[in-house]
Copies of this chain bind each other. A is one copy, B any other.
Amino acid sequence: MKEIRGVVKKETLEIGEILARDMDGCEVKVNGAVHTIRDMGEVAFIVLRKREGLLQCVWEDGVSEFHIKDIREASTVEFTGFVRKEERAPQGFEIRVKSARILSEPAEPMPLQISKRKLNTSLEAKLNYRPVSLRNTYERAKFRLQEGLTRGFRDFLYGQGFTEIHTPKIGAKSAEGGANVFTLEYFHKPAILQQSPQFYKQMMVGVYDRVFETAPVFRAEKHNTKRHLNEYTSLDFEMGYIDSFEDIMGMETGYLQYTMDLLAREYAADLEILGIRKLPRTDVIPQVRFDEAKQMVAEKYDRQFRNPYDLEPEEEHLIGELFREDYGADFVFVTHYPSKKRPFYAMDDPEDKTYTLSFDLLYSGLEITTGGQRIHNYHELLAKMAERGMETEGMESYLDTFKYGMPPHGGLGIGLERMTMQLTGEENVREVTLFPRDLSRLTP
């Protein structure tokens, strides 16, 4: 009987494996995609794109056992050759190629110059040619950092006693309801796509005390801005037994501290490709009340904003600028948003019911998180719903959660793409979304 006994050891070596040993002069096999070829006649530099980075390989006329014309850009190849230290090569060594095996060849030449440091093309073209544009090393480095942000979230929360959950994206009624919901037919019944795992994560606090989920959410908002997506990845957590909503902000700060360390340690190559020399400051994050922040901005920049119940994008931007200038802060917690603009489940501040025990986290002037304490008392929740004229129909399970006892709790949701956007300094959230969905884009 044939058997499988575990990971199959490859003959080919990865960049890290060569770097980890002292292999100068050794014969090795490497593979990769031909990123560029610089043919100088007697000698040619063939740069392979590998997952860990670019690898310089050298073809020499009369030494390499194949013709340089046999190797084409965008082919994938396996080279046999010798490792040689070379300070000018991207990895500090190069491969002097002896022989080549072609693994695959492209059918057509590349539509974009992906071997440049940064793609010299429009966002539209990048998105239209997504499978190709992402092969650019600058482009792909952004999504490596995105991995780090998600990975850090989970690893940190596992360490803090959180349990990971998977909640359904198709449902009968949504957390925040209303017009901004995608609808579908589910076996002849009307259904919706969840805008957030809010209700489910609250239900699960009654089970595990602390839960998180990293999953897509869907918003049918007709915004066409640089900050909005109609489908995005939400990093959500919810925690019970809190003493105050500061516990939630504390947990998020802990996440940011953990994750910036993780990026510095494990994603240094990607940070370097992106030219990110300084990660945002997370040791201390100032918190300011919503109304105070509004006033500070009005005073410092002599600007008045019309909406007393919310922050406009420009206002968030100025809060970010103010706190960077005056406090050296990259992040700011804005707290105590008006009750009027927060969902029914938000807990009002007992000291002033027109405000809530809630917060947004701004990162360089952009809201990347909304969170807060939730109502945990059944009767209080019913009263708040009645006050807002809401029906309880379709909410039975959610309400059962409270009917049968719930600890004081709260949580938050982080927009992964927005966070990546601020980290990488991009101007449009589509730049940091593999395959964005917006008002006009449904493919690829």
Contacts and interface: CB of A to CB of B under 8 A. Distances in A.
Interface of A: 1-8, 10, 12, 14, 31, 33, 50-52, 74-76, 103-108, 110-111, 129-132, 134-135, 140, 143-144, 146-147, 150-151, 154, 158, 160-161, 163-173, 182-187, 189, 191, 193, 200, 203-204, 206-210, 215-216, 218, 220, 222, 230-231, 233, 240-241, 243, 246-247, 249-251, 253-254, 257, 283-288, 327, 333, 376-379, 394, 396-398, 400-408, 416, 434-437, 439-440, 442-444
Given A168-B437, A172-B442, A106 B404 contact: yes
Contacts of A105: 405
Given A169-B216, A233-B166, A286-B2, A200 B435 contact: yes
Contacts of A209: 50-51
A420 to B, nearest CB: 10
Given A106-B405, A134-B207, A405-B74, A6 B172 contact: no
The 3 closest A-B pairs by CB, nearest first: A397-B444, A106-B405, A74-B405
B167 A434 contact: yes
Contacts of A31: 241, 407
Contacts of A158: 151
A150 B155 CA distance: 12
A90 to B, nearest CB: 17
B131 A206 contact: yes
A366 B91 CA distance: 46
B288 A405 contact: no
Contact of A241 (B12, B52, B169): B12
A229 to B, nearest CB: 9
Given A106-B403, A203-B131, A216-B216, A437 B163 contact: no
A398 B132 CA distance: 10
A326 B215 CA distance: 42
